[in-house]
């Protein structure tokens, strides 16, 4: 098989490896979640994450190759998340990718993690094609991008404070749902009444977002209700809180579709795995006559397949030019 890209992603707390082809075929996508390891701390502990990446990266990579039905000898290019993310966690992936590539003199592609989220819908049998709009909503970022060429994206609007996933995680923590909070809040919200409580939908200028006031509003509401009543109304609180986040995201995407006049939309990032958001985006796109690409949940949350996808559109560094490549916690 030719054109195989082995991709590695370790920007946060998931150790990920995948094999994709230059044509966008997804051959394997492996994710070793560290969720349980960090749950007892109520959030990701960077040093713990780096150490666990180091322990499992080789096994996860071997597993991804095996699942793709290939060996290292069949790999043509290695791709890796260079940033943004936790610096120690990123370094494990970057070092591992460099070693794998250098041992065979292969080219290496350093990938922007967010570019991965932007192009994850270009994978598979029905890839999205530019020009398109994309909403990326994750634990660290929330923005609407415009893609004219899959090698680049332009940010049209972004969060001014918390990311949507951060709002989910903080809300979940206030409701005693543990970590990671987004999926737990999503599940609980299904059994609650989204009209029960009114939470603010803040709308800063143009296409930007703001979620920090929402978290404060939930904090005050839980305090006002008192412990026992807040516990009893937990599902209603979760549903109303989630509805506020989804409404804010939908309102901005609606505005972006109207302003930019594009007929294709993709969503990505962990929050794109949210069941209510997926449904609401579908309804919005039906209403506006826009075609929507919703990747499967495992391609929305952090994964290496999307890094392989972005690598198809990113210049590769030939051996040995990448030997001094560094990870970067923040990308320019």
Instruction: Pick the closest to residue 299 from 93, 124, 81 (CA basis).
Output: 124
- Binding string, residues 115-154; x marks residues near ligand KG4 by CB under 6 A: -----------------------xxx--------------
Q: Which of 83, 88, 116, 183 binds ligand KG4 (CB under 6 A)?
A: 183
Does residue 302 touch Zn ion according to CB under 5 A? yes
Binder to ligand KG4 among 88, 165, 171, 308 (CB under 6 A)? 165
Q: Binds 168, which of Zn ion, ligand KG4, none (CB < 5 to 8 A, cut-off by type)?
A: ligand KG4
List binders of ligand KG4 among 90-109 (CB under 6 A).
none
Q: What is the dihedral of CA 279, 285, 125, 268, to 10 degrees?
A: -60
- Do 74 and 293 meet the contact criterion of CB atoms below 8 Å apart? no
Residue nearer to ligand KG4 on the CB measure, 106 or 271? 271
Q: What residue 273 binds from Zn ion, ligand KG4, none (CB within 5 to 8 A, per partner kind)?
A: ligand KG4
- Which residues on adjacent β-strands are paired with residue 144? 135, 157
Say how many C-beta atoms besides its own lie within 10 A of residue 319's C-beta.
16
Q: Choose one: 68-76, 147-155, 218-226, 301-309; the region binding Zn ion (CB under 5 A).
A: 301-309
Bridge partners (DSSP) of residue 191 are: none
DSSP codes joined into one string, 77-107: EEEEEEESS-HHHHHHHHHHHHHHHHHHT--
268-287 residues in contact with ligand KG4 (CB under 6 A) are 269-271, 273-274
Closest approach of ligand KG4 to the CB of residue 277, in Å: 7
CA distances from 52 to 11, 45, 86, 310, 327 (A): 12, 11, 13, 25, 18
Give least dist CB 75 to ligand KG4, A: 25
Q: Is the Cα torsion angle 60, 66, 72, 76 positive or negative in sign?
A: negative
Q: Are 322 and 101 in contact (CB under 8 A)?
A: yes
Q: Of ligand KG4, Zn ion, none, which one sits near residue 274, judging by CB under 5 to 8 A according to partner kind? A: ligand KG4
**Interacting residues of 268 by C-beta distance below 8 A, sequence separation 6+:** 117, 118, 120, 121, 134, 135, 136, 137, 138, 295, 299, 300, 306
Within 113-152, the residues that bind Zn ion by CB under 5 A are 138
Site for ligand KG4 in 313-332 (CB under 6 A): none
Question: Min. distance of Cβ 303 from ligand KG4 in angstroms?
Answer: 8
Residue 3 CA to residue 20 CA, distance in Å, equals 8
Contact stretch for ligand KG4 (CB under 6 A) within 1-9, 55-63, 148-156, 182-190: 182-190
CB nearer Zn ion, residue 134 or residue 262: 134
271 binds, among ligand KG4, Zn ion, none (CB under 5 to 8 A by kind): ligand KG4
Nearest alpha carbon to residue 117 among 306, 312, 330: 306
Query: Among 302, 304, 309, 314, which residue interacts with ligand KG4 (rule: CB under 6 A)?
Result: 302
Residues that bind ligand KG4 (CB under 6 A): 12, 138-140, 165, 168-169, 180-183, 186, 269-271, 273-274, 301-302
């Amino acid at each position: 098989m030719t054109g195989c890209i082995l991709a590695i992603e370790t920007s946060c707390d998931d150790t990920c490896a995948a094999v994709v082809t230059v044509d966008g075929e997804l051959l394997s996508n492996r994710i070793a979640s560290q969720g349980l390891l960090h749950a007892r701390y109520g959030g990701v502990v960077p040093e713990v994450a780096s150490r666990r990446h180091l322990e499992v990266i080789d096994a996860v990579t071997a597993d991804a190759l095996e699942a793709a039905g290939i060996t290292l000898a069949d790999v043509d290019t290695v791709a890796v998340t260079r940033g943004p993310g936790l610096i120690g966690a990123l370094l494990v992936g970057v070092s591992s990718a460099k070693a794998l590539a250098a041992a065979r003199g292969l080219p290496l592609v350093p990938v922007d993690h967010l570019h991965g989220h932007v192009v994850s819908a270009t994978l598979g049998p029905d890839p999205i094609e530019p020009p398109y709009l994309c909403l990326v909503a994750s634990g660290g970022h929330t923005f609407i991008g415009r893609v004219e060429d899959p090698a680049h994206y332009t940010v049209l609007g972004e969060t001014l404070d918390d990311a949507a996933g951060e709002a989910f995680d903080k809300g979940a923590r206030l409701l005693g749902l543990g970590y990671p909070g987004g999926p737990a809040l999503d599940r609980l919200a299904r059994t609650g009444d989204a009209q029960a409580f009114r939470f603010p939908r803040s709308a800063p200028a143009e296409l930007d977002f703001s979620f920090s006031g929402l978290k404060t509003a939930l904090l005050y509401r839980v305090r006002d209700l008192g412990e026992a009543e807040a516990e009893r109304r937990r599902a209603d609180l979760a549903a109303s809180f989630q509805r506020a986040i989804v409404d804010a995201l939908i309102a901005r995407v609606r505005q972006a579709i109207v302003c930019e006049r594009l007929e294709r939309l993709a969503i990505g990032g962990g929050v794109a795995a949210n069941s209510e958001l997926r449904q609401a985006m579908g309804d919005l796109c039906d209403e506006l006559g826009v075609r929507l690409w919703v990747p499967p949940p495992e391609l929305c949350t952090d994964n290496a397949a999307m890094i392989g996808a972005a690598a198809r559109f990113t210049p590769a560094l030939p051996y040995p030019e990448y030997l001094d490549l560094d990870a970067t916690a923040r990308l320019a």
